[in-house]
Every structure is written in structure tokens, then in C-alpha cells.
Amino acid sequence: MAATLVVILVVLLPGGLAFSVHKYLKGPAPAVALHEPAPSPTPKSQDRLLDAAEFGDWSFRMDGVAFQAERVGRWTYDSCAPVDRDGLLAENRCARAVQLAYSAYKGHLKAVQVILAFPTEKAAAATAERLAKSSRGVKWRRDKVLGTYVYGRIRSGASKRYVVYTAVTADKTAQAKAARFHQYLHADHLNYFLFREPALTS
């Protein structure tokens, strides 16, 4: 996945924010028609439901930068209620969520990502902006990060109609690598949603 995202990643890394469709089906031509049949309506991107199974172990390599992490947990939610701490997600009509847990450097670094699907890009951007000011809007699996750590940070950003929320903790052994790991993991999954679905056709 990451190998195809080189150009876009450079754009996303500084700000952590970024603002794609199913194949459309044509119905069979009628036996007799006066005009060329129009294509069937293009399905909207939200027709493809977000699922944690889309994300496996994380492997990233680009220009001498390389990261590896094992996915140690995944959860798919049919709504955002299980991860909505104070109603912010419901307020912005969050429709679906997944949660992912990762471990790297022999368990010295652990990460949790919550990925949220919204009906519109505007709703996703508004949520990411609020989460950037206060991280308490999302309820995430704190049992999947380190209880004692020297690096502990959260990033949030929007890509299309999705919000990616990434928490990373690391102990002294992985401290020197934690900030860049966090930056690249977060940006790589933001990038994923730029390529997840082809662009809508007019």
C-alpha cells in the first residue's frame, strides 16, 4: 500500500490533514431503443463499508525510511456509538468506525488507531478540527497501549470523508523512533483513503 503513496505522503506529513469510487455498472441495452442507454447511477463511495479487515500488519518503506508494526487487534463497529465519548461523533453524524491496535519494536512501542466514516467530507473535517483541540471526543482501547511510557501523543486528521485518530506510546527503548513512527503511521493511513475508491465519474 505505502509504496504507491510516495508523492501524496510528502504533502500530508507537515499538516497531518488531507482533504476517491466503485466501478459503475451499466444495465443491459434494451432490445429496442431510440437512444443510447444511459449508464446506471454511480454508487457513492459510502456504499463500500469501512471494515477493520482492510488493515493488516503495517509495513512502510520509502527513501530509506522503513517501519514495521504487527497488527495485534482489530474491531469493526456498525455505528460510532462504541467509540463516541461525549456525543461529538453523533453530532457530526459519524456512521461507522473501526479500531486497530499495533505493536512494534518487540512491544516497546504500541499504537491504537480509530478510523471514522462520515457521510460528507465537511462533517469529517469539522470532527477532525474539534479533535485537534481536544482528544477526549473519542473512546479508544487504552488497554492496547503501554501503561507506563515516556512518549505518548495523539494525532487526528481528515482525509475525504474519513477521520483517522492515532494514539502512540513508547518506552525508553523506542522513544527515539516514536515521533517519526507516529507521524508516518498516521499519514500513511490518511493517504489510504485518497486511493481507496476511484474518483466519481460525471
Query: What percent of the chain is modeled with pLDDT above 70?
Result: 74
What is the distance, to the nearest Å, from the Cα of residue 1 to the centroid of all Cα atoms in its chain?
13
| Mean pLDDT calculated for residue range 182-190 | 97
Q: How large is the angle between the packed helices 6-15 and 175-195, nearest 10 degrees?
A: 120
Residues near 6 by beta carbon (within 8 Å), at least 6 away in sequence: 62, 63
Q: How confident is the model at residue 179 (pLDDT cuts 50, 70, 90)?
A: very high
The helix/strand/coil state of 109 is strand
Residue 191 confidence class, pLDDT cut points 50, 70, 90: very high
pLDDT value at 104 more than 80: yes
* CB hemisphere CA count around 41 (13 angstroms): 4
pLDDT digits (tens, 9 = 90+) for 110-169: 999 999 999 999 999 999 999 988 878 999 999 999 999 999 999 999 999 999 999 999
Phi, psi values for residue 16, rounded to 5°:
75, 10
* Range scoring the smallest mean pLDDT among 17-26, 41-50, 72-81, 139-148: 17-26
Q: What global pTM score does this model have?
A: 0.75
The edge-to-edge listing of strands for the beta sheet with 96-104 is: 58-62, 65-77, 96-104, 109-117, 162-170, 151-159
Contact 127, 116 (CB under 8 A): yes
Q: Quick one: DSSP state of residue 84?
A: B
